[in-house]
């Protein structure tokens, strides 16, 4: 092909047909430019295809991660609400009743005063996707917003946990160490209760204990509300990812 065009140029030059040679030269330049543009377009298309494939792979990993996390979130919210919050409310009911016959039940329910269940989750596929700048490559504005909200929600969980742990370490455990037998209340097989509390009636008038239980309920209800919102956010994100994966499969 190169030899063919070269012969044409040489023939035009020998025949001294300069206008036609210039026209031919311009045409040849145009063909070269078109070829370069086509090559760039093919390269760009191929690069975009590879990038879309990589994003789809990451979407799939995030979806699997969300599915696994969702199973844990539902169980954890139920555990906090049905056991920890429920037991602490039972403790308040006993204190309010001032019933000497039921006061011994505090021996069972006060264990939830020191029960701390974390609401933080490790989602490396989601975190890496966002930290590596893939958010700017998301064409779906709703999915982009959901993933950014998910990142903020994962961070907020640390705040919720930190508050709960601070409450335990600075308020609850110091109180329990001073007024209760920790081993007796916790019922751990690794602890041996010796000086057990036999009479729980003095706690009827213990304002500090009442306040601690109410604060604990408030903290745990915050966790339940957080987990409920987090669950909804995960479900919405998974739904949008499923749409993106379906669209990618349809276009492949």
Rounded mean pLDDT, 143-161: 96
Report how far residue 51's alpha carbon sits from residue 88's, in angstroms, rounded to the nearest whole number. 52
Kindly tell me if the per-residue pLDDT of 165 is higher than 60: yes
Rounded to two decimals, the pTM is 0.80
Rounded mean pLDDT, 27-32: 64
Kindly tell me if the per-residue pLDDT of 21 is higher than 50: no
The confidence band for 162, taking pLDDT boundaries of 50, 70 and 90, is very high
Residue 50: the pLDDT is 73
The confidence band for 106, taking pLDDT boundaries of 50, 70 and 90, is very high
């Amino acid at each position: 092909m190169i030899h063919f065009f070269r012969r044409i140029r040489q023939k035009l030059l020998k025949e001294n047909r300069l206008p036609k040679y210039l026209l031919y030269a311009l045409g040849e330049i145009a063909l070269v430019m078109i070829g370069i543009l086509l090559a760039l377009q093919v390269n760009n298309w191929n690069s975009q295809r590879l990038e879309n494939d990589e994003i789809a792979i990451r979407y799939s990993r995030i979806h699997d991660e969300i599915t696994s996390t969702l199973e844990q979130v539902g169980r954890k919210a139920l555990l906090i609400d049905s056991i920890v919050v429920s037991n602490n409310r039972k403790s308040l009911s006993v204190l309010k009743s001032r019933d000497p016959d039921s006061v011994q039940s505090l021996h069972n329910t006060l264990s939830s005063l020191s029960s701390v269940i974390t609401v933080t989750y490790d989602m490396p596929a989601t975190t890496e996707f966002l930290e590596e700048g893939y958010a700017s490559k998301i064409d779906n504005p709703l999915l982009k917003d959901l993933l950014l909200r998910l990142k903020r929600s994962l961070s907020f969980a640390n705040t919720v946990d930190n508050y709960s742990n601070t409450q335990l370490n600075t308020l609850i455990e110091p109180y329990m160490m001073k007024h209760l037998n920790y081993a007796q209340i916790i019922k751990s097989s690794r602890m041996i209760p010796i000086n057990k509390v036999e009479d729980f009636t003095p706690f009827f008038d213990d304002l500090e204990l009442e306040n601690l239980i109410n604060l604990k309920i408030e903290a745990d209800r915050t966790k339940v509300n957080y987990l409920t919102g987090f669950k909804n956010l995960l479900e919405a994100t998974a739904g949008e990812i499923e749409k993106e994966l379906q669209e990618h499969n349809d276009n492949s």
